[in-house]
Amino acid sequence: YMVLILNILTCDSSALPIAFKQKLRNVLIEEGNTAVLRCELSKSGHTVEWMKSGTELIKSGDKYHMRQREVLIELRIFDVMPEDSDIYTCICGSIETTATLTVNELRNVQVQEGNGVTLCCELSKPGTPVQWKKEDNALTNGEKYQMKQSGSTLEFLIRKSQPEDSGTYSCVCDDITTTATIIITGETVEEGSVTLRCELSKPGVPVEWRKDAQLLTEGDKYQMKQEGRMAELLIRNLTLTDLGEYSCFVGTTADFTAVSTGTSRPQPTSPLHVSEDCNYMRVLRVLEFNKKRHF
């Protein structure tokens, strides 16, 4: 008879070559924050080093902090700036893992209607293709939009902006996205004033003015005037924060409805309206447009 003897070999994990159990992941972060890059080795007892741009050795200090706990590896980059956007590599012997850090440098923009708007950002690797989007819709070069890419610098231009161009825009590069919000306002949104008026059924009756149910008081922002049956509210230095519903109250009666109760209680006889002697009807329309779409 022939006897077969099987040798059962046990696998010693310490004999296996070192590897990255978890590799670095790309990071997108807002300027001024702390970026954290993490990876994990397959076994402990091995040291690593960090590189930037593939050639610059990173050392711990005020800008960088490196930490290693057994198999867990971490690099912290403090107070990140656009120039910190780059390729970072963790090296352990003959193996390495790489990730891209992108510091979001697209800035929110508010401009007056009719002006051009330009968004700029910079890639860590020149020549990498990108896609620009508004909300979830891809944008293309044309009469409305112009996109430029020179090396690592990207530009996105909106020509002759209109209120409907307000929204969130993004530049997408692989799995990295940087975003900015654009708000297009009317020419007089940031400056100017507007007057609201209503007429009472009886003269000399005190009224209260409110914005979104909040009682308003006279001062630098608001001026209230009442002559006979006419009540007026002047709102100075219009901004987007002035969006809202304004009411004139007489006792428990609201401003803009003509209420007939059959009693002698004073009631508004005309709806609240914008003074015809000022040119800010357009302002209110622009503010309302922005409110419905972006606030």
pLDDT in tens, 128-138: 888 999 988 99
pLDDT in tens, 70-108: 999 999 999 888 889 899 999 999 999 999 888 876 667
pTM equals: 0.42
Domain 194-294 has CATH 3.30.420.40: no
pLDDT in tens, 215-263: 999 998 899 988 877 788 888 887 777 777 778 877 644 443 222 222 3
Q: Please give the torsion angle defined by the CA atoms of residues 239, 240, 245 and 249, in that order, rounded to the nearest 10 degrees.
A: -30
| Overall CATH class of domain 18-104 | mainly beta
- Is 283 strand, coil or helix? helix
Contact 100, 178 (CB under 8 A): no
Q: Which parts of the chain fold into alpha helices (H)?
A: 281-294
CATH architecture group of domain 109-185: Sandwich (2.60)
Sign of CA dihedral 142, 143, 145, 147: positive
Considering the chain, tell me which residue range(s) the CATH 2.60.40.10 domain(s) occupy. Answer: 18-104, 109-185, 194-294
Residue among 19, 38, 27, 25 nearest 96 (CA): 19
Contact 64, 75 (CB under 8 A): yes
Measure the CA–CA gap between 164 and 144, rounded to whole angstroms.
Answer: 12
